[in-house]
Structure 1
Amino acid sequence: MRMVDIIHTKRSGEALSDEQIQYFVDGVVSGDIPDYQTSALLMAIFFQGMTKEEQSTLTMKMMASGDHLDLSGIPGVKVDKHSTGGVGDKTSIPLAAVVAALGIPVPMISGRGLGHTGGTLDKLEAIPGYQVEISEQDFINQVKKDKLAIIGATGNIAPADKKIYALRDVTDTVDSIPLIAGSIMSKKIASGTDALVIDVKTGAGAFMKTLADSRALAKALVDIGKDVGMQCMALITDMNQPLGNAIGNALEIEESIALLKGKGPADLEKLIVTIGGYMAVMGGKAKTTEQGQAQCLEVIHNGKALASFKAMVQDQGGDPKVVDDPKGVLPQATYRIDLPAKQSGVVSKIVADEVGIASMLLGGGRQKADDKLDYSVGIVLRKKIGDSVQAGDALLTIYSNRKNVEDIQKLLYDNIEISDAAQAPTLIYETIE
């Protein structure tokens, strides 16, 4: 078998055989296939696509290219959640605590942020002492004890994906649905969970900008999950404006804690309760999603979810006092600068990805993978789409460690619009089960 023939097959629009996909994955991991040939096949897949069968085969071969976590020693149905990423998307952190408080084990392996999207691990590392890298056995023991752990990838999970993703990033093939689906699901299947809810973001601040592309990706992800016997469903949710109010690592932890005290933003609570309802059914704690959602609201407002979060923080080396005194424990920015509205009216547009870029430029995100983060900086929205505003009112507050933020202010003014009328966007568009 020759790599050039595999490239030719896909370039011609034909389906690759299981043997061809295996040869490709093996060659990527071993280094026998040069980057230029891997890149050529990725480009062919980008333009020609893949069948449902090809997608499943590619996912399983990438999953089998490395370690597979064995979570069978953890009693119960292990349920996880994945988001395709967005601005202000801290959902995983409070959601995991809510679901764990229902008695469902949540072994969550998360990632870091790059560019305008934030990473769950970066947010948690804003808590002094929190360790995202623990051994596989410690991970399993903690989930047994607390029903919850959120860590970075352990061992050698899906090494083929690591190499392929690096080339996708530099060959402009990142937004290929078969390649995105294979990347996400190979890691999730290798992580050993029994059930998975996927939050596919759509809109300006999302990876998928259109509802049609988001629907296609969600369907591909669910199909792969079902093909391997995993309980799997997806929601398509809005990312045309930031989720919640806080954008920035420490600020998002503070907002997560507020939510677990029953004082979080309405949109964030609605999303968490909705996703949590599905996870409750998958985990066998509720017969209907409505019953599961009611249970999620109950543990948010009776303090059980907050206790789950505090236990996780403490057992992963973080300062548990962050729950009682977030501002006293989390890093704080030197300057807080309001952005006043230039006119009265109704906020009609907040371009999510540009707000995320503004936070990144303050130091809250990475332009390169090895950039050092400033956990204290970011942006807190005071108004969202559909809110009325008077000239001079604060649209948002910039949290910065530099006094001069004229560049940030200009970027934000350019991406927030005020009109005579506007309606808040739909938060949850549809579910794919």
Structure 2
Amino acid sequence: MLPAEFIRRKRDGKPLAADDIAGFMKGVTKGSVSEGQAAAFAMAVFFNGMSRDEAVALTLAMRDSGDVLDWSDLPGPVADKHSTGGVGDNVSLMLAPIVASCGAYVPMISGRGLGHTGGTLDKMDSIPGYASQPDNALFRKAVREAGCAIIGQTADLAPADKRLYAIRDVTATVESIPLITASILSKKLAAGLQSLVLDVKAGNGAFMARPKDAAALAKSLVEVANGAGLKTSALITDMNEPLASAAGNAVEVRNAVDFLTVRHRDPRLEEVTLALAAEMLAASGLASSNADGFALAKESLTGGRAAETFGRMVKALGGPADFVEHSDRYLPSAKIEWPLASPRSGFIS
């Protein structure tokens, strides 16, 4: 089908066939579909939405636009988590090593900051020498040796998503649930996962401020992911205030190290991190229930295994071998630090 006819069908609210979606996305990847045509398609989806079957087809087409990783040589389940983002949300930095230290493999492909939300990749970049965008050989080596690796999307994984997202970003079509769903899941499917847990944020610090919008996004993500063959569940968590008592790349890494080494743990951050760990361990078959998964995750923290795993990951990806023990030596600090105590409780506005 010609791109113009494909766009016209979506504009007019007619159903799109999976083969036609695959052909259009192949054109997006190769450049035979122009930026204007891709933008027109995104706007048509923004206004008319997509059926579940269309969203599944779009997700699979974007996944198949590049490489799909194969982890069948690993002797354990392959799992991951994705957060829709918030403020002071450094959960991934603790969650990946916690779950890995319990026997799973976590190849976590993360993103950079978007809007007001902090990016996991930006946080990892504050660690000197850490290769946040390694080639596939180093990525695989790190996952095998450390059990987890937090990296950025490479050019070979879901390139159609990368091009379409860049177009959406400048055409006011980012806030479309079907397009958000396909963007998130195409990368997770390309990562070769066996199970996925989603942390969908709701509140004034999240992209979905209203709980009903967060619930709609969670429903779309879970239905499409499972329809595409990836075992997926979702938690909706509160983002009406920062999770960590830190907001910023280096300070959130320092906060994560303090969390893993039991120097300091923010209660809300601990609650969300352990709930997601329990869900991941149960979904991957390493725990018989969420309660069992919670106990395993808690034990990995108190026994120091999660901190050791984080240290191995940093070393495997080129960071300092003694980073966990001496993080303050390596992380940058502000030139001026000024304690500011509030005279009363309340909200900063």
* TM-score of the superposed pair, with normalisation by structure 1: 0.78
| Residue in 1 that maps onto 2:153 | 153
Could you tell me how far 1:72 is from its partner in structure 2?
A: 1.3
Q: Deviations over 1:118-168 (max 9, x none)?
A: 111211121111111223123223222221111222341111111110111
| Residue in 1 that maps onto 2:270 | 269
SS class of match (1:336): coil
| Residue in 2 that maps onto 1:282 | 283
| Residue in 2 that maps onto 1:73 | 73
Matching residue's letter, 1:290: A
| Residue in 1 that maps onto 2:312 | 311
| Residue in 2 that maps onto 1:320 | 321
Q: Does the Cα contact within 8 Å between 1:134 and 1:151 map onto a contact in 2?
A: yes
Could you tell me how far 1:340 is from its partner in structure 2?
A: 4.4
Q: Does the Cα contact within 8 Å between 1:78 and 1:104 map onto a contact in 2?
A: yes
Q: Does the Cα contact within 8 Å between 1:148 and 1:312 map onto a contact in 2?
A: yes
1 CA distance for matches of 2:225 and 2:254?
34
| Residue in 2 that maps onto 1:247 | 247
Q: Hey, which of these two has a bigger chunk of strand by percent?
A: 1
Q: 171-180 or 101-110, which moves further after superposition?
A: 101-110
2 CA distance for matches of 1:293 and 1:215?
24
1 CA distance for matches of 2:109 and 2:300?
23
Could you tell me how far 1:57 is from its partner in structure 2?
A: 0.4
2 CA distance for matches of 1:155 and 1:173?
23
Could you tell me how far 1:205 is from its partner in structure 2?
A: 1.5
Matching residue's letter, 1:158: A
Q: Deviations over 1:174-227 (max 9, x none)?
A: 010000000000111011111111111111121112111111111111112211
- Equivalent positions of 1:384-403 (< 5 A) are none
Runs (5+) with no aligned partner, structure 1: 351-414, 416-433
| Residue in 1 that maps onto 2:14 | 14
Aligned length: 348
Q: Does the Cα contact within 8 Å between 1:75 and 1:144 map onto a contact in 2?
A: no
Matching residue's letter, 1:270: E
Could you tell me how far 1:293 is from its partner in structure 2?
A: 0.4
- Equivalent positions of 1:210-221 (< 5 A) are 210-221=210-221
Could you tell me how far 1:22 is from its partner in structure 2?
A: 2.0
Could you tell me how far 1:267 is from its partner in structure 2?
A: 0.8
- Equivalent positions of 1:1-400 (< 5 A) are 1-262=1-262, 263-341=264-342, 344=344, 346-347=345-346, 349-350=347-348
SS class of match (1:338): coil
Q: Deviations over 1:351-396 (max 9, x none)?
A: xxxxxxxxxxxxxxxxxxxxxxxxxxxxxxxxxxxxxxxxxxxxxx
Matching residue's letter, 1:302: G
Could you tell me how far 1:96 is from its partner in structure 2?
A: 0.6
Matching residue's letter, 1:332: S
Q: Does the Cα contact within 8 Å between 1:74 and 1:143 map onto a contact in 2?
A: no
Could you tell me how far 1:10 is from its partner in structure 2?
A: 1.3
RMSD: 1.4
Q: Does the Cα contact within 8 Å between 1:322 and 1:330 map onto a contact in 2?
A: no
2 CA distance for matches of 1:28 and 1:174?
17
2 CA distance for matches of 1:105 and 1:195?
11
Which structure's relative contact order is higher, taking Cα pairs within 8 Å and 6+ residues apart?
2
Q: Runs in 1 of length 4+ with deviation above 6 angstroms?
A: none
Matching residue's letter, 2:297: C
Q: State the identity as a percent.
A: 45
Q: Does the Cα contact within 8 Å between 2:145 and 2:316 map onto a contact in 1?
A: no
2 CA distance for matches of 1:234 and 1:86?
16
Q: Does the Cα contact within 8 Å between 1:76 and 1:283 map onto a contact in 2?
A: no
- CA spacing shift, 1:179–1:78, aligned 2, 3 Å: same
Q: 294-303 or 146-155, which moves further after superposition?
A: 146-155
Could you tell me how far 1:281 is from its partner in structure 2?
A: 1.1
2 CA distance for matches of 1:19 and 1:315?
41
Q: Deviations over 1:325-346 (max 9, x none)?
A: 22222111111123443x53x3
Higher Cα Rg: structure 1 or 2? 1
| Residue in 2 that maps onto 1:428 | none
1 CA distance for matches of 2:40 and 2:293?
47
Matching residue's letter, 1:171: T
Matching residue's letter, 2:288: K
SS class of match (1:199): strand
Could you tell me how far 1:113 is from its partner in structure 2?
A: 1.4
2 CA distance for matches of 1:197 and 1:214?
15
| Residue in 2 that maps onto 1:425 | none
Could you tell me how far 1:44 is from its partner in structure 2?
A: 1.0
* TM-score of the superposed pair, with normalisation by structure 2: 0.96
SS class of match (2:338): strand
SS class of match (2:201): strand
2 CA distance for matches of 1:163 and 1:108?
21
Q: Does the Cα contact within 8 Å between 1:122 and 1:249 map onto a contact in 2?
A: yes
